[in-house]
């Protein structure tokens, strides 16, 4: 297969409109972009970046994506979160705290939340959606090439051992952090996954859908990164999935 185009990871974008602080740690911040226009009542999109839960990859690489989403009418919140190998609860607690913080922010308060995430961020989005409590339960989830089955991802050795590095132990010990082993989220779940993805193979999403048949999986042409690249052929599919998730009823 052709090598993955990773150019989106280093592409520049404009600065966010604001940076939200949701905790005392340096990483407990989130980029906020306000859409200049959009349908009334459209949810706030909380977008979780990937990077196999490792500290080397941060939220900056999704700035081109949030810039394009704002142009498409989506107000976004892109949290940073602590990424300390072997301490996964810090990461998960931060994601939940970031989602809860949206409700208290000017311009965001009172609006429903739609969760999205790519790769490890897709795992975190599915996990948060399954475990957040009212009134912070998201109305839906868009998971892009998610590491949705930690046990399978571990067995496949994804990310050069990313799962045990993240957890600090075997995936079987932390079933509470594995979306495939948790109850399905209350809201609708859409998954987009590239058929040529060799970083997180589509079989990982297929495993999640077998466990949670109400989730809808759409296979798209391409690899791992087109789903977060506004210049890719997959981008219209991403926007269409978000529109479907935000549609009334």
Q: Which two tokens stand for residue 58?
A: 């941060």
Residue 191 tokens, joined: 């998954």
Instruction: Give the residue, 180 or 39, on which the prediction is more confident.
Output: 180
Average pLDDT, rounded, for the chain: 95
112 CB neighbour count, 10 Å cutoff: 17
As a residue count, the chain comes to 249
Closest listed residue to residue 47, CA positions, set 98, 107, 112:
98
Query: Average of pLDDT values for 164-176?
Result: 98
Looking at the DSSP assignment, which residues form a beta bridge with residue 47?
A: 116
Judge contact between 129 and 141, C-beta under 8 A: yes
Angle at 9 between CA 50 and CA 99, to 5 degrees: 35
Task: Choose from 9-13, 37-41, 227-231 the range with maximum mean pLDDT.
Answer: 227-231
Q: What percent of the chain has pLDDT over 70?
A: 98
pLDDT of the residue at 121: 98
| Predicted pLDDT at 3 | 72
| Residue 62: φ, ψ to 5° | -100, 5
89 burial type by CB count under 10 A (0-12 exposed, 13-18 middle, 19+ buried): middle
11 vs 115: which has the higher pLDDT: 115
User: What would the two tokens of residue 136 be?
Assistant: 């912070």
Average pLDDT over residues 217-223: 96
Q: Are 228 and 60 in contact (CB under 8 A)?
A: no
- Counting Cα atoms < 13 Å in the Cβ hemisphere of 141 gives 33
pLDDT at 111 (0 to 100)? 92
Local confidence band at 2 (pLDDT 50, 70, 90 cut-offs)? low
Spell out the domains of the chain, with CATH numbers in brackets: 7-246 (3.40.50.1820)
Return the closest-CA partner of residue 204 out of 183, 179, 226: 179
Q: Summarize the confidence of residues 79-96 as an average pLDDT.
A: 98
The whole model's pTM is what? 0.96
Between 88-102 and 158-167, two packed helices, what is the crossing angle to 10 degrees? Answer: 80
Q: How high is the pLDDT of residue 1?
A: 46
DSSP 8-state secondary structure symbol assigned to residue 230: T
- pLDDT tens for each residue of 101-135: 999 998 898 899 999 999 999 999 999 999 999 99
């Amino acid at each position: 297969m052709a090598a993955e185009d990773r150019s989106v990871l280093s592409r520049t974008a404009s600065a966010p409109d604001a940076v939200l602080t949701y905790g005392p740690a340096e990483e407990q911040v989130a980029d906020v972009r306000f859409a200049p226009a959009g349908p009334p009542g459209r949810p706030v999109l909380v977008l979780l970046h990937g990077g196999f839960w490792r500290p080397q990859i941060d939220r900056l690489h999704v700035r081109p994506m949030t810039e394009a989403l704002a142009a498409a009418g989506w107000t976004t919140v892109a949290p940073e979160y602590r990424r300390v190998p072997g301490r996964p609860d810090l990461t998960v607690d931060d994601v939940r705290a970031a989602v809860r913080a949206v409700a208290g922010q000017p311009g965001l308060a009172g609006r429903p939340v739609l969760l999205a995430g790519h790769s490890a961020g897709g795992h975190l989005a599915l996990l948060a959606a399954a475990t957040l409590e009212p009134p912070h339960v998201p109305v839906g989830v868009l998971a892009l090439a998610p590491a949705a089955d930690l046990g399978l991802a571990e067995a496949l050795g994804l990310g050069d051992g990313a799962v045990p590095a993240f957890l600090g132990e075997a995936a079987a010990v932390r079933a509470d952090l594995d979306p495939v082993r948790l109850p399905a989220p209350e809201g609708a779940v859409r998954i987009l996954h590239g058929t040529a993805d060799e970083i997180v193979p589509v079989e990982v999403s297929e495993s999640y859908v077998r466990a949670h048949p109400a989730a809808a999986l759409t296979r798209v042409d391409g690899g791992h990164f087109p789903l977060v690249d506004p210049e890719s052929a997959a981008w219209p599919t991403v926007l269409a999935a978000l529109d479907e998730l935000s549609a009334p009823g």
